[in-house]
Chain A
Amino acid sequence: GAVVSQHPSWVICKSGTSVKIECRSLDFQATTMFWYRQFPKQSLMLMATSNEGSKATYEQGVEKDKFLINHASLTLSTLTVTSAHPEDSSFYICSASSLSGSTDTQYFGPGTRLTVL
């Protein structure tokens, strides 16, 4: 089956620093990748949609200058949390999708736990 990886799986950083999270599709080419944020005991909230080679589309309320997304290849997307603050602490999950015929399934990565001190 389709496998999506994320790196790192967890990260602790100081307030004011930037953190980069990688999302890779290991065995398929992902035309689109999605970034979600999930707070404890809550659902997944879509942050942005990223298409390879173009600018990401951010959901309402998500600061594009704070959450930088790059999707430079069909197998890699990165999310950079700039000038992180404690309120950015969350579980960040990516998913990858490849339109193939009538199938458009999103395959999720294992998530990255970000803790900002």
Chain B
Amino acid sequence: GESVGLHLPTLSVQEGDNSIINCAYSNSASDYFIWYKQESGKGPQFIIDIRSNMDKRQGQRVTVLLNKTVKHLSLQIAATQPGDSAVYFCAEKSGSARQLTFGSGTQLTVLP
């Protein structure tokens, strides 16, 4: 069936470096994408979203890139900080559907 998945299950970066977390999706009808951050024992926290009519969107220290041609989504975190350590999930939905489909998640660890 349709799925949203991530390329890397774990990612370790040095504090201050930039992080890139990738996500592949298979549903060509997906038109809305969201990145969530989940810290241990907590619920997912909204980071940034992007609609399919855009290919880039920037927030505070974060940028989401969407490549619809290859069905790929990425989250870039600038100047990664220890507080960025968490599991990051991409999620997608299509059309009028209310339900989100979550990817498998990437554990980001920021090294001192």
Contact = CB atoms under 8 A, between A and B. Distances in A.
Interface of A: 4, 6, 32, 34, 42-46, 49, 91, 93, 95, 97, 104-111, 113
A110 B42 contact: yes
A114 to B, nearest CB: 13
A44 B103 CA distance: 8
A108 B45 contact: yes
A105 B46 contact: yes
B104 interface: yes
A111 B43 contact: yes
Interface of B: 32, 34, 36, 41-46, 49, 89, 98-105
Nearest to A51: B98
Contacts of A104: 32, 98
Q: In terms of DSSP, what is the predominant structure of the interface of chain A?
A: strand
Contact of A32 (B36, B98, B102): B98
Nearest to A105: B46
Given A43-B104, A105-B49, A93 B98 contact: no
B99 A43 contact: no
Given A107-B46, A111-B41, A43 B100 contact: no
8 contacts: A42-B105, A43-B89, A44-B44, A93-B43, A108-B44, A109-B43, A110-B42, A111-B41
Nearest to A108: B43
Contact of A49 (B32, B99, B103): B99
A110 B102 CA distance: 17
Contacts of B99: 34, 46, 49
